[in-house]
Amino acid sequence: MGLEDYRLAPVTSQDLAPAQRQVWDELVFGKRGGKSVRDEGFLVGPFDALVRSPDVALSASRLGEVLRFETELTQRERELAIITVAAHWQASFAWLRHEVYARESGLAADVIADIAAGREPAFESDSDRVIYELVSGLVREGSVSDARYAAALQLLGERRLVELVALSGYYCFSSVVLNAFRVPLPDGASVPWSQEEAQPRG
Protein backbone atom coordinates (compact mmCIF):
# COMPACT_ATOMS: atom_id res chain seq x y z
CA MET A 1 0.00 0.00 0.00
CA GLY A 2 1.28 3.41 -0.97
CA LEU A 3 0.46 6.92 0.08
CA GLU A 4 -2.27 7.06 -2.56
CA ASP A 5 -4.12 4.27 -0.71
CA TYR A 6 -4.10 6.04 2.67
CA ARG A 7 -7.62 6.83 3.81
CA LEU A 8 -6.57 9.91 5.79
CA ALA A 9 -4.75 13.12 4.96
CA PRO A 10 -1.34 13.00 6.69
CA VAL A 11 -0.85 15.36 9.63
CA THR A 12 2.52 17.14 9.58
CA SER A 13 4.08 19.14 12.40
CA GLN A 14 2.70 22.35 10.87
CA ASP A 15 -0.87 21.00 11.07
CA LEU A 16 -0.95 20.12 14.76
CA ALA A 17 -3.45 21.42 17.29
CA PRO A 18 -1.98 21.97 20.80
CA ALA A 19 -3.17 18.62 22.14
CA GLN A 20 -1.74 16.88 19.11
CA ARG A 21 1.60 18.62 19.64
CA GLN A 22 2.00 16.76 22.94
CA VAL A 23 1.52 13.45 21.14
CA TRP A 24 4.06 14.45 18.48
CA ASP A 25 6.65 15.54 21.04
CA GLU A 26 6.29 12.40 23.17
CA LEU A 27 6.74 10.20 20.13
CA VAL A 28 9.59 12.13 18.54
CA PHE A 29 11.52 12.83 21.72
CA GLY A 30 10.59 9.64 23.58
CA LYS A 31 12.10 6.17 23.42
CA ARG A 32 11.16 5.70 19.78
CA GLY A 33 13.23 8.77 18.89
CA GLY A 34 13.97 9.66 15.29
CA LYS A 35 12.13 6.59 13.98
CA SER A 36 8.78 8.24 14.70
CA VAL A 37 8.50 10.55 11.67
CA ARG A 38 8.40 9.50 8.02
CA ASP A 39 10.47 11.24 5.37
CA GLU A 40 7.26 12.89 4.17
CA GLY A 41 6.91 14.59 7.56
CA PHE A 42 4.12 12.69 9.33
CA LEU A 43 4.08 10.15 12.13
CA VAL A 44 4.87 6.53 11.33
CA GLY A 45 2.68 3.49 11.77
CA PRO A 46 -0.70 3.91 13.43
CA PHE A 47 0.12 7.22 15.06
CA ASP A 48 -0.70 9.53 12.17
CA ALA A 49 -4.21 8.09 12.36
CA LEU A 50 -4.36 8.06 16.15
CA VAL A 51 -3.13 11.65 16.55
CA ARG A 52 -6.63 12.76 15.53
CA SER A 53 -7.70 11.54 18.98
CA PRO A 54 -4.86 12.81 21.17
CA ASP A 55 -5.91 11.04 24.37
CA VAL A 56 -6.06 7.71 22.55
CA ALA A 57 -2.75 8.38 20.83
CA LEU A 58 -0.99 9.32 24.08
CA SER A 59 -2.33 6.29 25.91
CA ALA A 60 -1.35 3.99 23.05
CA SER A 61 2.11 5.51 22.81
CA ARG A 62 2.79 5.18 26.52
CA LEU A 63 1.52 1.60 26.68
CA GLY A 64 3.56 0.71 23.61
CA GLU A 65 6.71 2.13 25.16
CA VAL A 66 6.18 0.11 28.34
CA LEU A 67 5.51 -3.10 26.44
CA ARG A 68 8.46 -2.69 24.08
CA PHE A 69 11.08 -1.20 26.37
CA GLU A 70 10.18 -1.82 30.01
CA THR A 71 9.05 -5.43 30.38
CA GLU A 72 11.08 -8.43 31.48
CA LEU A 73 10.54 -10.15 28.14
CA THR A 74 13.64 -10.62 26.01
CA GLN A 75 13.88 -8.97 22.61
CA ARG A 76 13.54 -12.38 20.97
CA GLU A 77 10.37 -13.16 22.92
CA ARG A 78 8.86 -9.76 22.12
CA GLU A 79 9.65 -9.83 18.43
CA LEU A 80 8.44 -13.40 17.97
CA ALA A 81 5.13 -12.39 19.50
CA ILE A 82 4.86 -9.20 17.44
CA ILE A 83 5.53 -10.81 14.06
CA THR A 84 3.09 -13.61 14.90
CA VAL A 85 0.37 -11.02 15.49
CA ALA A 86 1.36 -8.92 12.46
CA ALA A 87 1.33 -11.94 10.15
CA HIS A 88 -2.08 -13.03 11.40
CA TRP A 89 -3.60 -9.62 10.65
CA GLN A 90 -1.40 -9.13 7.59
CA ALA A 91 -0.57 -5.74 9.09
CA SER A 92 2.04 -4.72 6.56
CA PHE A 93 3.63 -1.77 8.34
CA ALA A 94 4.02 -3.70 11.61
CA TRP A 95 5.50 -6.67 9.74
CA LEU A 96 7.92 -4.55 7.76
CA ARG A 97 9.43 -3.00 10.87
CA HIS A 98 9.40 -5.94 13.24
CA GLU A 99 10.59 -8.60 10.79
CA VAL A 100 13.90 -6.71 10.86
CA TYR A 101 13.96 -6.69 14.65
CA ALA A 102 13.05 -10.38 14.72
CA ARG A 103 16.07 -11.23 12.58
CA GLU A 104 18.26 -9.04 14.78
CA SER A 105 16.99 -10.92 17.84
CA GLY A 106 18.29 -14.22 16.42
CA LEU A 107 15.12 -15.78 15.02
CA ALA A 108 15.97 -18.02 12.07
CA ALA A 109 15.07 -16.91 8.55
CA ASP A 110 13.02 -20.05 7.90
CA VAL A 111 11.01 -19.50 11.09
CA ILE A 112 10.24 -15.93 10.06
CA ALA A 113 9.29 -17.06 6.54
CA ASP A 114 6.93 -19.71 7.89
CA ILE A 115 5.23 -17.20 10.18
CA ALA A 116 4.82 -14.78 7.26
CA ALA A 117 3.20 -17.54 5.19
CA GLY A 118 0.82 -18.57 7.97
CA ARG A 119 2.58 -21.91 8.51
CA GLU A 120 3.55 -23.27 11.90
CA PRO A 121 7.36 -23.20 11.99
CA ALA A 122 9.52 -26.19 12.87
CA PHE A 123 11.11 -24.57 15.89
CA GLU A 124 14.46 -25.75 17.14
CA SER A 125 13.85 -23.89 20.40
CA ASP A 126 11.15 -25.20 22.74
CA SER A 127 10.89 -21.72 24.26
CA ASP A 128 10.14 -20.16 20.88
CA ARG A 129 7.53 -22.83 20.19
CA VAL A 130 5.77 -22.21 23.51
CA ILE A 131 5.57 -18.47 22.86
CA TYR A 132 4.43 -18.91 19.26
CA GLU A 133 1.72 -21.39 20.23
CA LEU A 134 0.37 -19.13 22.98
CA VAL A 135 0.26 -16.00 20.79
CA SER A 136 -0.96 -17.85 17.71
CA GLY A 137 -3.74 -19.46 19.72
CA LEU A 138 -4.81 -16.09 21.07
CA VAL A 139 -5.06 -14.39 17.68
CA ARG A 140 -6.48 -17.33 15.74
CA GLU A 141 -8.88 -18.73 18.32
CA GLY A 142 -9.35 -15.90 20.80
CA SER A 143 -8.38 -18.14 23.70
CA VAL A 144 -5.58 -20.22 25.17
CA SER A 145 -5.85 -23.94 25.84
CA ASP A 146 -4.96 -25.26 29.27
CA ALA A 147 -1.91 -27.04 27.87
CA ARG A 148 -0.57 -23.95 26.14
CA TYR A 149 -1.26 -21.81 29.20
CA ALA A 150 0.55 -24.23 31.49
CA ALA A 151 3.57 -24.42 29.17
CA ALA A 152 3.79 -20.63 28.90
CA LEU A 153 3.38 -20.15 32.64
CA GLN A 154 6.17 -22.62 33.34
CA LEU A 155 8.44 -20.89 30.83
CA LEU A 156 7.71 -17.28 31.70
CA GLY A 157 6.22 -17.05 35.18
CA GLU A 158 3.19 -14.90 35.92
CA ARG A 159 4.68 -11.45 35.29
CA ARG A 160 6.24 -12.22 31.92
CA LEU A 161 3.16 -14.15 30.84
CA VAL A 162 0.98 -11.13 31.60
CA GLU A 163 3.42 -8.97 29.65
CA LEU A 164 3.36 -11.34 26.68
CA VAL A 165 -0.44 -11.43 26.54
CA ALA A 166 -0.63 -7.64 26.89
CA LEU A 167 1.96 -7.19 24.13
CA SER A 168 -0.05 -9.45 21.85
CA GLY A 169 -3.21 -7.48 22.51
CA TYR A 170 -1.44 -4.18 21.91
CA TYR A 171 -0.24 -5.31 18.48
CA CYS A 172 -3.72 -6.55 17.61
CA PHE A 173 -4.94 -3.02 18.36
CA SER A 174 -2.12 -1.51 16.32
CA SER A 175 -2.77 -3.92 13.44
CA VAL A 176 -6.45 -3.12 13.09
CA VAL A 177 -5.67 0.61 13.06
CA LEU A 178 -3.06 0.06 10.33
CA ASN A 179 -5.46 -2.02 8.25
CA ALA A 180 -8.57 0.11 8.74
CA PHE A 181 -6.89 3.25 7.46
CA ARG A 182 -4.54 1.53 4.99
CA VAL A 183 -1.52 3.17 6.55
CA PRO A 184 1.09 3.40 3.77
CA LEU A 185 4.42 1.65 3.63
CA PRO A 186 7.61 3.53 2.86
CA ASP A 187 8.34 3.89 -0.86
CA GLY A 188 9.76 0.71 -2.35
CA ALA A 189 8.91 -1.48 0.63
CA SER A 190 7.34 -4.89 0.14
CA VAL A 191 5.82 -7.52 2.38
CA PRO A 192 5.29 -11.28 1.93
CA TRP A 193 1.61 -11.01 1.03
CA SER A 194 -0.29 -9.04 -1.57
CA GLN A 195 -3.93 -8.03 -1.50
CA GLU A 196 -6.18 -5.03 -1.85
CA GLU A 197 -7.31 -5.27 1.74
CA ALA A 198 -5.63 -7.18 4.55
CA GLN A 199 -7.48 -10.27 5.74
CA PRO A 200 -6.83 -11.91 9.10
CA ARG A 201 -5.96 -15.57 8.92
CA GLY A 202 -8.47 -17.92 10.46
* Together in a domain, 62 and 77: no
Return mean pLDDT, the chain.
Answer: 92
**How many H-runs (helices) and E-runs (strands) does the chain carry?**
8, 0
* Together in a domain, 55 and 81: no
Phi, psi of 135 (to 5 degrees): -70, -45
Confidence of residue 187 (pLDDT cuts 50, 70, 90): confident
* Together in a domain, 157 and 106: yes
- pLDDT tens figures, 166-180: 999 999 999 999 999
The Cα 95–Cα 171 span in angstroms is: 11
- pLDDT tens figures, 20-55: 999 999 898 877 766 788 888 999 999 999 999 999
* Together in a domain, 129 and 144: yes
Please give the residue range of the domain that contains residue 137.
Answer: 73-177
The percentage of residues in the chain with a pLDDT greater than 70, rounded to a whole number, is 94
* Together in a domain, 80 and 165: yes
Predicted confidence at residue 200, as pLDDT, reads 62
CATH, residue 108:
1.20.1290.10
Predicted confidence at residue 197, as pLDDT, reads 46
Burial category of 103 from C-beta neighbours within 10 Å (exposed 0-12, middle 13-18, buried 19 and up): middle
